[in-house]
Amino acid sequence: MNDENTIDENVENDEQDIDETIESPDEELDSDTSVTTDQELELAKAEATSAKDDYVRLQAEMQNLRRRTEQDVEKAHKYGQERFSTELISVVDNLERSLEASVGNEDSVVKAIHEGVNLTLKGFIECLQRNHISPVDPMGEPFDPLFHQAIGTQDSPESEPNTVVAVMQKGYTLHDRVLRPAMVMVSK
């Protein structure tokens, strides 16, 4: 019987050891799982924050792109006629020169042509003004390199230095942009 009791005790001890062994891995597993879950949670939070930052950045970039596109379209509408306007200015210059050449001529045919050219010139000038093209006639104004092109200097005792004393060719602006600078003589 002793042997049986010893065997029973050994079996019971082994069962307890097995039970303890089985319980111990669970505790270790629970602590590992909680650490892993906390790490996963932190990682998910970091990814969510990063995704939110990316989203906000993309929204700002889209807004900037939309604003730049609107500005580009506005400029295209505003200044799209620039090349055509420059060509029209040359026609106006030629009409003005033909009027200057015919002044003082008493021939009736020349007078009739002069009158027709004058009416045509007025029509062109009105057309330019309706399309926001303005002449730059800086006589007596201080020289401004943004709107004037100096082609020479001239002594002028009655004018202050660096003042426009003669306009050789009118300049023109389209809205606020210079189409052609005025060709001027500047006082010394």
Instruction: Convert the pLDDT of each residue in 164-174 to its tens digit.
Output: 999 999 999 99
- Two tokens at 164? 């426009």
Does residue 65 carry a pLDDT above 90? yes
Cβ atoms 181, 148 nearer than 8 A: yes
Residues linked to residue 7 through DSSP beta bridges, in sequence order: none
pLDDT band at residue 30 using 50, 70 and 90 as cut-offs: low
| Dist. CA 166–CA 142, nearest whole Å | 12
Residue owning tokens 């306009």? 167
Predicted confidence at residue 2, as pLDDT, reads 56
d(Cα 173, Cα 136) in Å, to the nearest integer? 7
Strongest mean pLDDT among 24-38, 49-63, 98-112: 49-63
Sequence spans of domains, the chain: 1-79, 81-131, 135-188
User: Mean pLDDT over all residues of the chain?
Assistant: 85
Sheet with 177-180: strands ordered across? 133-136, 171-174, 177-180
Euclidean distance between CA atoms 58 and 79, whole angstroms: 31
Read off the pTM: 0.60
* 119 band by pLDDT with thresholds 50, 70 and 90: very high
What is the CATH T-level fold of the domain 135-188, as seen in this structure?
A: Nucleotide Exchange Factor Grpe; Chain A, domain 2 (2.30.22)
